[in-house]
Every structure is written in structure tokens, then in C-alpha cells.
Chains A and B, each alone.
Chain A
Amino acid sequence: MNQPASAYFIEERHDPNETHTLAVLVQNEPGVLARVIGLFSGRGYNIESLTVSETEAQKHLSRITIVTTGTPMVIAQIKNQLDRMIPVYQVVDMTQTRRSIERELAMVKVRGQGEHRVEALRLADAFRARVIDATTESFVFEITGNTDKINQYIDLMRPLGLVEVSRTGVAAIGRGPEGM
């Protein structure tokens, strides 16, 4: 109740945050990504991960996958705000449907020699990461999986000489025979 003098009603909300993955089907036209990102920055929503690519070239459709966090009311707002944009066809909450698969790809560069090098290869094998580039003192691994698995792999590589990571961000798709 310690309200500072203000023309606005300042209120703190204490609802817990949730993380949701949204798939947004859009018309692939100039500026469409800027519109979507601008909505998030303009309204103060979070983007934890963003992946975008054209998925149906003939129909000029692109699919944007966004991982975001917020209270349930904010998540509902984000979906509604996205849905009312003119070039947006459809917004699907992949988290809410609970029947979706999420994957990310990462390329991980590790530099080292001797025992570190052997250990890195051993762990790569355990995580089903592939070697896609090698020198006598380095590897680049390609690893695919959900965000947690990739985070875990990167953590393990850190003491073994982690140099650089490049990640695609999350892509998601629903299970079962039905399309979006």
C-alpha cells in the first residue's frame, strides 16, 4: 500500500511465471519478423529463444517458434496480440497442447589435447554428438536435442576447452498425425 505519488496505479503482480513455446505461422513478407519482435519489445514480453524460417515456399508461409515466459495472463495476451497481427495466420501454444516435441541444434567448438581431447570425444559419443570438423587440437561437435540436453552438454565441455557455441534456438512440432 506504499503507493508513490503517481498518475498511474502501480501494482506488483505475483503470479508465477511459466515458460511456453509458441508456433506462429505467418505470411512471409518484408518486415513480418520485425513486427513480431517489435510486439515483444514494445509490450515488454520476454523472448528466450526465436527460430524462423520459410516452411512452405509456394504459399509464402514462414514459421516462427518463440519460447517466452510470463504469467498465464501475459501468455494469453501474447497469443492474442500475435493472432491479431494482419500477416499472422495462426498461433499455437505448443506447451499448452502438451503433445509436442522440441529440438535445438548446436555446434560446439572444443580445443584441447591429450586426456581432455579423449574425454570430449567420449562424452560426444554418450550424447550422440557428431564430429563435423577436426584439427589436431580441436573439434566441432554437432548436437541435437532439447534445450536441457544441449545445456548439459555445453556445461560438460566447459572444463575440456570450450571455445565457442552456436545454437539454432528451439523448433517445435506436435506429435501425432494431425498438422497445426
Chain B
Amino acid sequence: MSDKSHDPNQMTGAAMIVRALIDHGVTDIFGYPGGAVLPIYDEIFQQSEVQHILVRHEQGAGHAAEGYARSTGKPGVALVTSGPGATNMVTPLTDALMDSIPLVCISGQVPTHLIGNDAFQECDTVGITRPCTKHNWLVRDVNDLAKVLHEAFYVATTGRPGPVLVDVPKDVQFATGTYHPPRKSDVHRSYAPRVKGDATQIRKAVALLANAKRPVIYSGGGVINSGPEATKLLRELVEVTGFPITSTLMGLGAYPASGKNWLGMLGMHGTYEANMSMHDCDVMLCVGARFDDRITGRVDAFSPGSKKIHIDIDPSSINKNIRVDVPIIGDCGNILGDILQVFKAEAKKPDIKAWWQQIAQWRARNSLYFKKSNDVILPQHAIQSLFEATRGRDTYITTEVGQHQMWAAQFYGFEEPHRWMTSGGLGTMGYGLPAAVGVQVAHPDSLVIDIAGDASVQMTMQEMSTAVQYELPIKIFILNNQYMGMVRQWQQLLHGNRLSHSYSEAMPDFVKLAEAYGGVGFQVHKPGDLDGAIQEMISVKRPVLFDCRVASLENCFPMIPSGKAHNEMLLPEQANDEATAKAFAGGKALV
């Protein structure tokens, strides 16, 4: 016994959790205390290596951890209590699973002997979170805790990244056991994600690329997840081949928006040139994207004449929605490196002048056109102004979900990866504000802006209080049209303009709200005041709610209507006449 009491690796479960965080290089965590995690909070209190950010709702902790992870490439960590603490994490966990964000959530659980008794604040956390995590664990023995925690970090950050959850009963937090630092054997032997691509497949891919007449590169969030090397290699591949490149919502920034081969984002609200290139191409190189339904449009009419190469670390992404010709399973950085090597050694830049001429014609359609007004701020204009004002600055952008998100993706030019945090797969309204909190914690001196909608931002508004408490000068730039804009747009286009419950009757005064939280509020109505107000917002070193009043019935175009293919896009000039007239007919009474 006396030997053991001097063993520095003998400690309580709660102490192990903090020690494991430190051993994995975690400096900031987001959480909310409660009965079942008090021993862990007691340990946090007695140390200074891990900073804890107290949120106002566990969902905020999860999204903040996501923002932190996406802007740094490191795992985000959240700490929540049992029962409601855990159930409030379900949305961020699902969000992180859909968007492949490395997240480690530690949840408290009622003591082991009470599990299954419907104890106070008990819920089946591992049962509830099983389908919304990459993996989860319930730790019943303190001597398993170190191994599980190390495995949790490993699983979250390797292969296709994702959220994990470790549920720790309160008696396990109190119990003393043996801790060990991370080691290889902590991981399931059954878990071995493939990193290196198959050489034969890579040769097949290069042969297709080298002989392409109408190629397109379609990149996704996987490139960003793979790390800075993948981004570098992707840019080099574009340079070496001279191919046009488009990207998913998740992949923005991997190739710079100012780059000459950039087609803009693709998909439902992507540019005409990106979608037409996808439809008419003869060789498609998909890197780290998953042929999501917002991307493909009508599946049976998706890029009918092309040979498709698909690079993905997750074999289950292959042939899920679209049948591909050359699947390559592995890490996209690794595989892009191999492709480049073979291409440079054996192929030369294909002549695709005619293809670029065709693309130039599509580009000339100017699919992101909108008509500026002197009386009312157009939301697209607001984002352009914001982009111009922040260009060249050290800026991070988060968004909520809806029209503003699509406009942000269309009109804000991202030059670097990790600068764009948005809820892509799950489409979580309320993501952006807490995500901005997380980004600002990771980058205290950078400019962090949440491009928000008036409806989304009210879902997690309480995190303004967190921002004020930790002096995080996040800027919440609200495109306020008083509607749930995307819902209204769909109702207009698809449901006879019956605007069922998509109008916010009682909008709060965002300026007063900001002040009530201890932040700063702005309100702008006139296009002429916009640039000045944005400059002022940037110079304020406190949390800001910026109420940008925009045209209330503006629609987000271009758009692939439902059931249509990439080459059947609705462009702004086609949409404006009949469709918007219809909108005004029904909508006037409301505004």
C-alpha cells in the first residue's frame, strides 16, 4: 500500500480525465457543470493547464468545441453532466458526425449501482449517442478509464474524423486507480483506417486525368480535414494539370477563391459554371467529398458522360449515392501526393483550351448577379461589403443555416482552409454563434464573424453571455429579413407561397439585446450606412450584435430546383419575373 500511495500514476478517475486532457495537448474545453461531473470540476478548479469555458447551454459547448476544432485542426473537447447535459449534446454530436469534425465529449453519469434505476438526471447516454458518434464508451471501472480516454482521442482524430463520447459514472470519477500515458495498445485492434491509396488505382486515375478533354476537380471537406499538406497538394495538382476546380460547402478555402481555376461552389446554390462543368465533364476527380444530395441534384442525371475518380478515407462513402469508376480509399493528402508524383513523371498537361472556352461562356452568364438598391440593403451586397472590409485581415467566418449561409458561401471569398465554419451536413440553425465563441477562444487576436440569420441566431443567443464573460470580441452579423428566409423561399417556390409560420412576428431589438448582455449593438437600414457601420463593428473590441436590415423577400439564386439536374439550374434573371411577383402578391400583407 505504501508503495502505491507514492505512485504518481495512482489517482482518482476525475484526476485521470484532466491528466488525459493535458497529455493530449488540450488547452481549452467547453462545458457546463452538474451533479454527475462535480468531481471533474473540482479537479479543473485545482489546476491551470486546461482552461474551461463556461457556456450557457450544453449545445453551445458542443458547437463551440466544433468551431474550435475546425479552425485549429485539433480535437474540440466538451464536458457535460448526465441526463439533460448529455441529451443537449445530441445536436452538436450529430452535427460533428455529419461534417466529420473531431470532437471528444466527456459526460458524467449517475453512479454505477444506480444505472438502470431511473435515477435523478439519469439517461442512457451511450444508447442515445450511439448513432450520433463515431464511437462511444461507458466506463465502469476506473482502471479502464485511461485506456478509454486515449482511445477516444485516437478514434476522434484519425481516419475520417468524428465525434466520440466517454460516459463516466460518478463513482468511477471518485474511485482511485492506475493512470497510464497514451500508448499504441490503447486502441481497438479492429480499428485501422487505411491511409495509403492503392497504387494500381492511382495509375488508373492518372491515366484518366492525363487524357481528359473536359476535366473537373470537385473537392470537399476531406481535403481540409486531411491537413495543410493536402491543401498544398491540391493547389499544386490544379497548377500542374491546369484543371478547373469547384468545391462543396465544406471544402471552401482549400483552393483560394481568387485562384484563376476556381469555378465557385457547386450544388443546389452553386454557380452555373461549376454545375455545368460537373454535368458536361468527361473526367471528374472527387477529392474528400461524398456526393451529397445537395451536390448531385437528380442522381440519375448526374454528370452522365464522365469517368469518376473518388478519393475518400471512408470506404462507405464510395458508391453510396453515385457509382464511380476509380475509387481510391485512403487519406486524400497521401493520395494526392502519389497522383502528383505519377502525373509529373508520366503525363503532361492536357490541352483543354476548348473546355476553358466553354467554361468562360458559362461564366459570362454571371449566375450570382443581383441588383443593388439604393434604398434597401440586399443581403448579397451586405456580404460583399463585409468581405471587402475584412479582405486581407486575419478573419474567421462562421454561419448559421439558411439563405444567409448560402449567400456567405457565394459572396465571401475564402483564401485559406480552416477559415470557414458552417453546419453543412446536419444544417443546424444556431450553430454559428457558439462556433464563433469556440473559434475566438482558439484565436484570441483574430477577427471572428458569425454571418447569421435573424431566426437561427435566436436559437443559441444565450452564448452572447459566454462571449461577454470571456471577453471574446465575436461579431454577430445578422442579415435580418424577419423571415426564416430559406423556409419562406421554399414555401414561395413549392407551396403556393403559403408562408406557413416562417415569419417572426416579434423580433427582439437586437441592439438592446446586445446591450443587455453587456455587448455592443448596431443597426443599419440604409445601403449608404453599411460600409461605415462595418468598419465601426470591426474596430469594436467587444462582442457585437450587428442588426443588418435587409430586403425581406430576396431569394437565394442560382438554384437547382428539386428533381432537376445540374444543367437545369434556375438563374437569377429567370427567377425574378414570375416567381418574385408571386411572392409579392402573397407576402405584402405580412410586411
Q: Quick check: which of B20-28, B214-222, B318-326, B385-393 contacts chain A, the rest being far away?
A: B318-326
Closest residue on chain A to residue B159 by CB atoms: A84
Closest residue on chain B to residue A43 by CB atoms: B131
Is B314 an interface residue when CB atoms closer than 8 A count as contact?
yes
Is the Cβ of B298 less than 8 Å from the Cβ of A89?
A: no
B90 to chain A, nearest CB (A): 14
Per-residue CB contact flags for chain B residues 253-271 toward chain A (1 = under 8 Å, else 0) read: 0000000000000000000
Give Cα distance in the complex from A88 to B189, angstroms. Answer: 9
Q: Quick check: which of A1-9, A103-111, A156-164 contacts chain B, the rest being far away?
A: A1-9
Are A3 and B562 also in contact (CB < 8 A) when A11-B298, A88-B190, A89-B189 are? Answer: yes
A-B contact count (CB 8 A): 69
Is the Cβ of A86 less than 8 Å from the Cβ of B188?
A: yes
Is the Cβ of B298 less than 8 Å from the Cβ of A42?
A: no
Q: List, in ascending order, chain B residues with CB within 8 A of A73's CB.
A: 319-320, 323
Is the Cβ of B131 less than 8 Å from the Cβ of A80?
A: no
Are A5 and B319 also in contact (CB < 8 A) when A42-B131, A86-B135, A86-B191 are? Answer: no
B281 to chain A, nearest CB (A): 20
Is the Cβ of B494 less than 8 Å from the Cβ of A5?
A: yes
Per-residue CB contact flags for chain B residues 113-145 toward chain A (1 = under 8 Å, else 0) read: 000000000000011001100110010000000
Is B348 an interface residue when CB atoms closer than 8 A count as contact?
no
Give Cα distance in the complex from A89 to B189, angstroms. Answer: 8
Interface size on B, residues (CB 8 A): 31
Closest residue on chain B to residue A39 by CB atoms: B131
Give Cα distance in the complex from A3 to B562, angstroms. Answer: 8
Q: List, in ascending order, chain A residues with CB within 8 A of B131's CB.
A: 38, 42
Is A34 an interface residue when CB atoms closer than 8 A count as contact?
yes
B368 to chain A, nearest CB (A): 22
> Which of B134, B138, B190, B562 interacts with A6 by CB under 8 Å?
B562
Give Cα distance in the complex from A31 to B155, angstroms. Answer: 17
Give Cα distance in the complex from A6 to B188, angstroms. Answer: 43
Interface bin, chain A: 20 to 34
Is the Cβ of A87 less than 8 Å from the Cβ of B315?
A: no
B477 to chain A, nearest CB (A): 26
Q: List, in ascending order, chain B residues with CB within 8 A of A35's CB.
A: 130
Are A81 and B316 also in contact (CB < 8 A) when A9-B298, A34-B127 are? Answer: yes
Closest residue on chain B to residue A8 by CB atoms: B293
Q: List, in ascending order, chain A residues with CB within 8 A of B98's CB.
A: none
Give Cα distance in the complex from A3 to B561, angstroms. Answer: 11
Give Cα distance in the complex from A42 to B129, angstroms. Answer: 13
Is the Cβ of B318 less than 8 Å from the Cβ of A80?
A: yes
Closest residue on chain B to residue A1 by CB atoms: B563
Is A77 an interface residue when CB atoms closer than 8 A count as contact?
yes
Q: List, in ascending order, chain B residues with CB within 8 A of A84's CB.
A: 160, 314-316
Is A132 an interface residue when CB atoms closer than 8 A count as contact?
no
Q: List, in ascending order, chain A residues with CB within 8 A of B191's CB.
A: 86
Interface residues of B in 150-204 (CB under 8 A from A): 155, 160, 188-191
Q: List, in ascending order, chain A residues with CB within 8 A of B135's CB.
A: 85-86
Could you name 5 residue pairs across A and B whose Cβ atoms are closer than 8 Å? A3-B562, A27-B190, A31-B126, A38-B131, A86-B155
